[in-house]
Amino acid sequence: MSPTLDELDGVIGDVLRENEISHDRKGPGRYFVTLPGTKKQQTNCWLLVTEHALVVEAFVCRQPDEAHQDLYRFLLRRNARLYGVHYTLDSRGDIYLVGRIGLGAVTPEELDRVLGQVLEAADGDFNTLLEIGFASAIRREWDWRVSRGESLANLNAFQHLVGAGRDEPSVADES
């Protein structure tokens, strides 16, 4: 027998509070969750109770500018190693993580495991997605900042994309 909506709300709310995860309850069985990250500052995620499952949907990255085939190959290969969620695209080509947990399987442990996987994938894969799908934009941003004397600090992870031996200040030298 499937748990009631009130029981599911209790499990979801308890997990989010106990793990100090920022969230807004948008109605019965509807939660907007913000998972903190390090590479990707935050990952916004919906938890939605439907008739048969708890749906998890998290925005990861907008549609890539370039190297679509390489990026999609990365996502498909990555899907084989994910637990409870998988990468998908919306109608615009934006990248999401989605998953479904059967209502009878929604336990604190399972919800924690799936939310952990969302955070690990979205945050852990973020720079790789940017490197593959936005390398030219990153290089243009680097050059623009150098030309204006702007800080390169938050581009440090992408320094290898601009090529060694160029006449830019070292990111490591900036504070």
Spell out the domain ranges in the chain: 5-133, 135-173
Q: Which CATH architecture has domain 5-133?
A: 2-Layer Sandwich (3.30)
Task: Please determine, for residue 169, whether its predicted confidence score (pLDDT) is greater than 50.
Answer: no
115 alpha-carbon distance from chain centroid? 11
Mean pLDDT across 146-164: 84
**String of DSSP letters for the chain:** -PPPHHHHHHHHHHHHHHTT-EEEEEETTEEEEEEE-SSSSEEEEEEEE-SSEEEEEEEEEPPPSS-HHHHHHHHHHHHTT-SS-EEEE-TT--EEEEEEEEGGG--HHHHHHHHHHHHHHHHHHHHHHHHHHSHHHHHHHHHHHHHHT---GGGGGGGGGS-TT-SPPPGGG--
Vertex 68, ends 66 and 71: CA angle to 5°?
110
Is residue 40 within 8 Å of 126, Cβ to Cβ?
Answer: yes
Q: What is residue 44's predicted lDDT score, i.e. its pLDDT? A: 98
Q: And the tokens for 102?
A: 């059967």
The percent of residues above 90 in pLDDT, for the chain, comes to: 79
Contacts (Cβ under 8 Å, ≥6 apart) of 46: 30, 31, 32, 33, 55, 56, 57, 58
pLDDT band, residue 43 (cuts 50/70/90): very high
Q: What is residue 168's predicted lDDT score, i.e. its pLDDT? A: 45
Is residue 125 within 8 Å of 67, Cβ to Cβ?
Answer: no
